[in-house]
């Protein structure tokens, strides 16, 4: 277990940025004040510019010019938050690594609590939301439904109300870096590697500025990514549905034969045939769609493309 005792540890804060120019200054002001007071620990902030189209990169470089503890990794385009997190984790050098959002909804004041529990011997310290009052009713409901469904169909259990915000030891980070997936669902990967885990509860704040980059459609696709990343039950269940449907059809066929033998032949109803055809056709299309989700994942993974491409990594000396 990679716990640093009796020496100054390095804590790496990994922060993806995508069009967050308005809050860059506020972010560094709040975060560096908290991290600068960590007992017996130094820190670095790995800022990943995920293809921002505003002035985010320029403001990150301005901040890094005056503080050697800030590092900027500029990706060649927008690869998405999961890829940006992977890039920051790969670039980090800390004994402990903390993924963190740039919008400051997760209070920086929680980080010392995570470090304290890590020093007690835990490899992973989850930051769990005590409540989700900053989310809309619809988002709270769909999030709860997602966790319930995911944990029911997957062998990898994801703690509910725990996002990417957590502390992970260097041993955990090295385990994560061995995972070869191209399509990455980071919360699932964090849970899959295991290790000794505890949690700290906290209350989330409102966004410090800007707006969420996750639309309803993106959240839906993100949920599908999570549901198909760590379980095959959505595929397996169609075997049972098909068997049940075939069994019902066989029983109905026997019923029709017996009724015809007793009552003679009657004229079949158009409505019942039409309904049965639509129902079975719809079930087949849904089943094909589920298979398509998994085939699509196989297709993307088979290409073996990198998760991200770094355009340039900046340090204070300009390299």
In a domain, 147, yes or no: no
- The single residue listed with the structure tokens 């075939």 is 246
State the pLDDT confidence band at 227, using cuts at 50, 70 and 90.
low
In a domain, 98, yes or no: yes
In a domain, 153, yes or no: no
Distance between CA 31 and CA 92 in Å, rounded?
A: 17
Structure tokens at 264: 């003679």
State yes or no: pLDDT of 121 exceeds 80: yes
CB neighbourhood size of 273 (10 A): 10
Question: What are the tens digits of pLDDT across the range 162-214?
Answer: 778 889 889 889 988 888 777 777 777 888 888 888 888 888 777 655 555 55
Give backbone dihedrals phi and psi of 151, rounded to 5 degrees, phi first. -70, -20
Indicate the average pLDDT of the chain: 77
Distance between CA 47 and CA 88 in Å, rounded?
A: 7
Total domain count for the chain? Answer: 1
State the pLDDT confidence band at 244, using cuts at 50, 70 and 90.
confident
Determine the pLDDT at residue 5.
Answer: 45
Q: Do residues 122 and 197 touch, judged by C-beta distance below 8 A?
A: yes
Q: Do residues 11 and 170 touch, judged by C-beta distance below 8 A?
A: no
In a domain, 124, yes or no: yes
Distances (CA, A) of 25 to 12, 29, 42, 49, 103: 19, 6, 21, 15, 12
State which residues form the domain around 98: 9-140+159-210+307-314
CB neighbourhood size of 314 (10 A): 19
Q: How many residues does the chain have?
A: 319
Question: What are the tens digits of pLDDT across the range 78-116?
Answer: 888 888 888 999 888 888 999 988 888 888 888 899 988
Question: What are the tens digits of pLDDT across the range 25-35?
Answer: 888 888 888 88
Q: Identify which of 190, 287, 194, 198 has the alpha carbon closest to the alpha carbon of residue 242.
A: 287
Question: What are the tens digits of pLDDT across the range 133-142?
Answer: 655 666 666 6
CATH code: domain of residue 128: 3.90.550.10
Q: Do residues 308 and 181 touch, judged by C-beta distance below 8 A?
A: no
Question: What are the tens digits of pLDDT across the range 52-69?
Answer: 888 888 889 888 888 888
Distance between CA 136 and CA 146 in Å, rounded?
A: 15
Determine the pLDDT at residue 278.
Answer: 64
What value does the mean pLDDT take over residues 270-288? 67
Output the CA angle 1-127-4, nearest 5 degrees: 25
State the pLDDT confidence band at 312, using cuts at 50, 70 and 90.
confident
State yes or no: pLDDT of 293 exceeds 80: no
Determine the pLDDT at residue 318.
Answer: 47
In a domain, 152, yes or no: no
In a domain, 275, yes or no: no
In a domain, 93, yes or no: yes
Q: Identify which of 186, 205, 216 has the alpha carbon closest to the alpha carbon of residue 110.
A: 205
In a domain, 239, yes or no: no
């Amino acid at each position: 277990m990679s716990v640093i005792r009796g020496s100054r540890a390095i804590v790496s804060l990994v922060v993806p940025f995508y069009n967050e120019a308005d809050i860059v200054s506020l972010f560094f002001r709040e975060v560096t004040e908290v991290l600068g007071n960590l007992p017996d620990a130094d820190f670095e902030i790995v800022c990943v510019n995920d293809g921002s189209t505003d002035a985010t990169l320029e403001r990150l470089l301005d901040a890094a010019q005056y503080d050697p503890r800030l590092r900027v990794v500029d990706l060649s385009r927008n690869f998405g938050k999961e890829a940006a997190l992977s890039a920051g984790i790969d670039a980090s050098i800390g004994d402990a690594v903390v993924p963190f959002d740039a919008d400051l909804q997760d209070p920086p004041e929680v980080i010392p609590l995570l470090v304290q529990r890590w020093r007690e011997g835990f490899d992973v310290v989850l930051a769990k939301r005590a409540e989700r009052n900053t989310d809309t009713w619809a988002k709270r409901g769909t999030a709860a439904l997602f966790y319930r469904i995911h944990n029911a169909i997957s062998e990898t259990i994801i703690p509910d109300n725990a996002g990417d915000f957590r502390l992970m030891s260097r041993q955990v980070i090295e385990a994560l870096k061995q995972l070869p997936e191209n399509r990455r669902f980071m919360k699932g990967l964090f849970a899959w590697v295991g290790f000794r885990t505890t949690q700290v509860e906290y209350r989330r704040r409102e966004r410090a500025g800007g707006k969420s980059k996750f639309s309803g459609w993106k959240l839906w696709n993100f949920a599908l990514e999570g549901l198909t990343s760590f379980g095959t039950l959505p595929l397996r269940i169609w075997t049972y549905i098909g068997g049940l449907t075939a069994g019902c059809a066989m029983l109905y066929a026997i019923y029709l034969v017996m009724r015809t033998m007793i009552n003679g032949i009657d004229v079949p109803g158009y409505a019942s045939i039409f309904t049965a055809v639509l129902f079975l056709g719809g079930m087949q299309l849904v089943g094909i769609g589920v298979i398509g989700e998994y085939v699509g994942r196989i297709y993307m993974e088979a290409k073996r493309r990198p998760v991200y491409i770094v355009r340039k990594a900046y340090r204070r000396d300009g390299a």
